[in-house]
Structures are given as structure tokens and as C-alpha cells.
A and B are shown apart, each in its own frame.
Chain A
């Protein structure tokens, strides 16, 4: 479904990604793990068009989406849950979800999609008219995921959904990811929480210093010595 071949990208003269290649098949849940500053967020931003790739190819269903600006990417069926959630804090929860359905194709299904997001996150329904900035961290993450789902995406990009959340809430977020993948959505998730993310993904890539260092299925990586030593502290 999504494929990156030798993608390089950065900000100005700073290069954050070097010849990154990865692929995600339809229906798969794929993880990208790595330390802080490895380029994980840049990788997500390159896919959704917020950062331009300087080299390489990015294709979705075999068609190039390289150079497509961010505001057109969502119409291709890609929704991005950004790092730190980035809700519109002074808009109500429901207005945040409404913005998620901004593209014409999503507007038609607004009512149905809103109902299904509220079904997935009953808490959001309770707080629908509250400013999003007043939600708890976990609720904000749910709102950010809900906002992305409102565009009815085929591929969901999640950038560190567990960051900054209490351990119990982290559990809920991963439980949620399990439910979302159960609905047939393709998910690409970036995480530092290696142990937990390997429990919800089919495959994962290890990104270090802007390069793919290792790739494999979740169980391969869980038993890999390097991963156990560097990321699980075992």
C-alpha cells in the first residue's frame, strides 16, 4: 500500500533521514522504533507532506505521492495523528472532530463517522462541547485519534501516541490501537515504548540516526539480542 524507497529528508541543511526504505501492506500494522532524535517524526512528516523529501520515492498504491502538499494528502486516504496530539485547544471537542472531516469526501459521512468515533471513545461524547485544551492527556490523545479517523482514512499514521501519558492510560491507548487494527485499518506507528508497541504490530523497523538499522516481524525483534539489550533493558 505505502512504500518508501531510499527517501532522504531534512530541515534546511540538516539531514534527518538517509536512504530510508520501508513498506506497509494493506491491513498491516507496522511500527517504527528508535531513540529520540532518530528521525521518526520526520519520517511521518515526510509521508504526510509536511516535510519535503529531497531524494527517493514515496508511493501509495503504486502512485507517487512525493511532493504532494500536506493538505492534499488526506484526500489520498492518509490521516496523521501528530506528535504531541496538536489539538486545537480553544475549539470544542466536536469542532476538533469536525475539522477532521474537512475534506468533501468526509463531509458527506460526517454524522455516521462522528457516531462511530463517539462509540469508540464514549468519553469524547460526554465532553463534546468542552474546549479540547481542558481534556486530560489520555482524552486528548483519543480526540487526536478521533480527529484523524473523521477523514475515513485507509492508512493511519500515529506519532508517539503514548508519549507523556500515565502508565495506565498508555495501556488504554495500546488497547485502542488493537481495536483500530481489528477494524481493518492499516496503521503505521512510531513509538519509543518498544515493549508495548511490539505487542500490537505485525512488523517493525528500527530507525537510528536517520537510517533503518533493523527490520523484522514483531516476534523476531522481540527475540533479537540487540533489541533486548538496547531497547528493553534485558
Chain B
């Protein structure tokens, strides 16, 4: 294999890690609460601004800024549920989509108002590593590793803990979990906070690689949705696999043609797959 192609494949793989992590968060919320947070990528944007301000402007140590961003976006997730989702939980799905879609524009406009449209960078230049002629960005490698650890931590939480087991059960029978002493409202809050925390973690990892600006959510938000739908909405394993497929299409397409065209290719494949397998590539 061509060494540059291999480099593209590896970079695609590394990109997939963070996308998979964010798809996990979105899928978790959809699977449990049955709502799609259209503004999910914009919560990531908020987290990136938190990292930027705390680290680059106020001089907090990076780990502390990261922790604060994760906690902050988790709290934001709680607020999204309490203020926007909970009041319209029983109304039509289109209302919920419109409400979280409204949140997207709110967050983007609010960020523009507060920070302007400048591209801001936290100013950390992590080295590029060379392995046998292949150049890999250390930031991406780190992001991949941490995203994978985040995914494993979520998996263990869902598999091992009582609350995690209740989270998996509630999507299968919302009424009957109550008979086991599970308070649906509490599980929804925990799920929203975890979804927010994953967006916060994603924000930390993306802040290492990209500039933050009010519309950064638009660059990868659609990708995350496509990944979730491709994997089967609410299906966390499917979303995880789809993240790697989509990232490879973009990476390899970007190598042979251009990144823009590879996005076109990815979305075309997505539309075609929706005709062939609307339930997603991975069946339950």
C-alpha cells in the first residue's frame, strides 16, 4: 500500500475516535429519552470555548480546564433536559426537534455575541510523530486514545452499575422499570448529564486539534448525525462502527480527490444506504 494512503487511513482512524465518542453520547440520549439533541455539536462548541477561556485566557492548568469543561457541559446537558426537553417530553417528536434545533441557533448566536466570529486556538502545538515515514499528529493520537477510554468507561458503567443497567432497561420498557424502583425522571437526568459530559470530553479533545469559533458545531455536527443514523439511531455499537466507516470514506476520499468531495461521497453513500437499509447498518 502507498505510504501516503496508509497515512490517510491512520488519520481517518484517529478522527473516528472522537466522532465515535460523540455519536455514543447522542445515541445514549436518543436511546434512553427518545429525543434527538440537534444542538449536540453546539454543546461541544461551548465546551471548546470553556477550555479556551480557562486555559488560554485565565491561565488555568490544562487538566483543570479540561475537567471544568467536562463538568460544565454536563451541567449544560442537565439544563437542556430540564428547561427544554422535560416540558415537551410527551409532545410530538417534531416539536422536540424544533426545540433543540432552536437551541442550536440560540447557542451559535449567543457565542457570536459573546466572543465574535474570531477563530481562537488554545495555542498548544503538540508534536507530529514520525513512524516509519508515516506522519501522525500527537494530538490526534492522544484524542483517539482518550476517546476510546471514554467509550470503555461508559461501557463499563452501563454494564456493571445498577443505574447503568436501569439506563439500558428503560429504553426497552419505560413503564415497567418503575415497578423495580427506578425513577424515570432521575434516569433521564443522569443520562442527560452523561451525554453532556461526553460532549465536554469531545470538546477537550477537539480543542487540541481545531480552532474554536461559534460555528464549529456545523463542521462535525452533521457528521455525527449521519454516523448515528447509519449505525441505527439509539444503537451505540452501530454508531461506533459507523464512525469508523464514515471517517475512512472521508480520509481515503480526501487522499484521492479532495476533502470536500469526500464529504459529498460520504453523504451520498449515506442517502443510498438509507434507501437500502433505513434501520441502520447494524441490526439489533
Contacts and interface: CB of A to CB of B under 8 A. Distances in A.
**Are the chains A and B members of one assembly?**
yes
Interface of A: 48-50, 69-75, 79-80, 82, 86, 88-91, 95-96, 98-103, 106-107, 147, 151
A167 B163 CA distance: 38
Contact of A95 (B168, B175, B183, B284): B168
Given A70-B179, A98-B165, 8 more contacts: A50-B175, A50-B178, A71-B184, A75-B181, A82-B179, A90-B172, A91-B169, A100-B180
Contacts of A90: 168, 172, 284
B241 to A, nearest CB: 18
A86 B180 contact: no
A63 to B, nearest CB: 18
A99 B182 contact: yes
A40 to B, nearest CB: 17
A160 to B, nearest CB: 15
Nearest to A80: B179
Contacts, number: 69
B162 interface: yes
A98 B166 CA distance: 9
B182 A102 contact: yes
A82 B168 CA distance: 19
24 contacts: A48-B179, A49-B178, A50-B179, A69-B183, A70-B178, A71-B178, A71-B179, A71-B182, A71-B184, A72-B181, A73-B179, A74-B180, A74-B181, A75-B181, A86-B176, A88-B173, A91-B172, A95-B168, A95-B169, A96-B169, A99-B180, A100-B180, A101-B162, A103-B180
Nearest to B162: A102
Contacts of A103: 180-181
Contacts of B169: 88, 91, 95-96, 99
Contact of B173 (A86, A98, A101): A86
B45 to A, nearest CB: 34
Contact of A151 (B162, B180, B284): B180
B181 A151 contact: yes
A173 B173 CA distance: 24
Contacts of B183: 69, 71
Contacts of B111: none
Contacts of B190: none
B177 interface: yes
A229 to B, nearest CB: 36
Interface in B59-115: none
A56 B184 CA distance: 27
A91 B165 contact: yes
A69 B175 CA distance: 12
A3 B102 CA distance: 51
B179 A79 contact: yes
A91 B284 CA distance: 12
Interface in B128-182: 162, 165-166, 168-169, 172-173, 175-182
B221 to A, nearest CB: 29
Nearest to A100: B180
A102 B162 CA distance: 6
B165 A71 contact: no
Nearest to B184: A71
Nearest to A69: B178
Contacts of B178: 49-50, 69-71
A147 B180 contact: yes
Given A88-B169, A91-B168, A95-B165, A82 B181 contact: no
Contacts of A102: 162, 165-166, 180-182
